[in-house]
Amino acid sequence: MIIHTSDFLVAFRALMDSGETATARMEGDVGMARLDAVLKATKRMDLSMNAAAKAAAEMSPELSEAYNAVMFFDCQAFCRAALFNNDLQDIFDLRVHHFTETLTELCAAVGRCTKNYGSQTEESWKYCIKEDASLEEVLSVAAKTIDTIDGKETLRLSEELTEALDAAKTFIDKSFFQHTGLMELIGRAKVVQDTARALRCEGLLSFALQVTSNKQRKLAIVRSQLGDVSGKAVKESLILPQLLEAARAEVK
């Protein structure tokens, strides 16, 4: 525990010395290397404190009397105070704010780009499609809705959202602190990400199924999208069954 506390203090001091304010420290921490070192150290220190507390609780009264002082050196109180100091909390809060702002903006951008056709409301492009609708009926609705979406921009925004989600999840996994609000936002952003991928897949399948002049191109698009579905890159449950059935019939 003492070694891990020492590691934490070294990492923490390096982060504090990099700027006068939390904002300055974040701006000067290229690649978040200093913050990453602090996050790792806080995890190790917390694990050490919990292990020491568990060992002390399981000691016999005789051993506790003999070794308790050696194990702790009052480190528990010191470590807790170090972990929950205001300067460190300010930096974490600033980072959480950054991820919250980025994810919120990207989710809104995806919604605008896809015209909310993937929502579970009346805006959904599938809202008026019956379960027994024919492929022709489905393609007719698609032509007025998802076929008008900018596929390249949807892909670009989806990739940006994926990068932001990965960074936010890595931060949460490494952090000692609990960030319930950010974790909930990550969950909502993941839904947006899955929906955007599904909409792009449906749009490409709709386009391919209407191609009549270039059979090779048609099959290439269909195989590519079915590969994404089978590879779990796109959730099959989010794809309209009629499109999937017709696409699979093309490659039989």
Backbone conformation region of residue 30, classed left if phi is above 0, alpha if psi is from -120 to 50, else beta: beta
Q: What is the pLDDT of residue 96?
A: 92
Q: Are residues 52 and 114 in the same domain?
A: no
* CA distance to 31, 82, 97, 150, 230, per residue, from 102 (Å): 16, 29, 8, 21, 30
The domain tally of the chain equals 2
Question: Which residue, of 34, 60, 84, is where some domain finishes?
Answer: 84
Q: Are residues 80 and 94 in the same domain?
A: no
Q: Are residues 104 and 220 in the same domain?
A: yes
Residue spans of the chain under pLDDT 50: none
Q: What is the pLDDT of residue 4?
A: 67
Q: What is the pLDDT of residue 91?
A: 83
Q: Are residues 94 and 79 in the same domain?
A: no
pLDDT in tens, 85-117: 778 788 888 889 999 999 999 999 999 999 999
Q: Are residues 187 and 103 in the same domain?
A: yes
Q: Are residues 108 and 23 in the same domain?
A: no
Question: Which residue, of 84, 103, 128, is where some domain finishes?
Answer: 84
Q: What is the pLDDT of residue 78?
A: 58
Q: What is the pLDDT of residue 59?
A: 66
In the chain, how long is the greatest CA-to-CA distance? 87
Q: What is the pLDDT of residue 35?
A: 84
Question: Which residue, of 84, 111, 128, is where some domain finishes?
Answer: 84
Q: Are residues 100 and 71 in the same domain?
A: no
Q: Are residues 227 and 114 in the same domain?
A: yes
CA 105, CA 101: separation in Å to the nearest integer?
6
Q: Are residues 44 and 168 in the same domain?
A: no
pLDDT in tens, 221-230: 999 999 999 9
> Range of 110's domain?
90-250
Q: What is the pLDDT of residue 200?
A: 94
Q: Are residues 138 and 53 in the same domain?
A: no
Q: Are residues 221 and 100 in the same domain?
A: yes
CA 45, CA 88: separation in Å to the nearest integer?
15
Q: Are residues 17 and 57 in the same domain?
A: yes
